[in-house]
Structure 1
Amino acid sequence: MPVILTPSDYMRWLGPEPDPRDLMKPYPSELMKMWPIDTKVGSPRNNTPDIIDEIGLGPTDLFDV
């Protein structure tokens, strides 16, 4: 899993400190946000900023119209 930093940790991560291991901790899940994105994200030909915009979900089952 990649390291997720808060803005207050950016300079420390990029600085000369020899061992920033304490920054390598799980990021709080309550601060994360997830949303559905378009399947176009799977192709390198689709290289636009809007590729990660949230999309609406269609019906999730047969009776959800």
Structure 2
Amino acid sequence: MTPEEALADLAAGADPERAASMRRYHKAERTYLGLSNPQIDDCAKAWRNALDVPARVTLAEGL
């Protein structure tokens, strides 16, 4: 899995309304997807199950 694929997984669950709310609250210029912690946890668990340790390290470095 590439970092781009991982970001696409996360973006698939994006909530634009929640992202806008987060952007207003944090007042920082960066990309907001509006994901909940459980959504992020689900992606991370799937990646852990699909990748061996060296691949996870490579993914983490890329992200």
| TM-score of the superposed pair, with normalisation by structure 1 | 0.25
| TM-score of the superposed pair, with normalisation by structure 2 | 0.26
Q: Which has the higher helix share?
A: 2
Q: Look at both structures and tell me which one has the larger radius of gyration over its CA atoms.
A: 1
Q: State the structure with bigger RCO (CA 8 A, min sep 6), 1 or 2.
A: 2
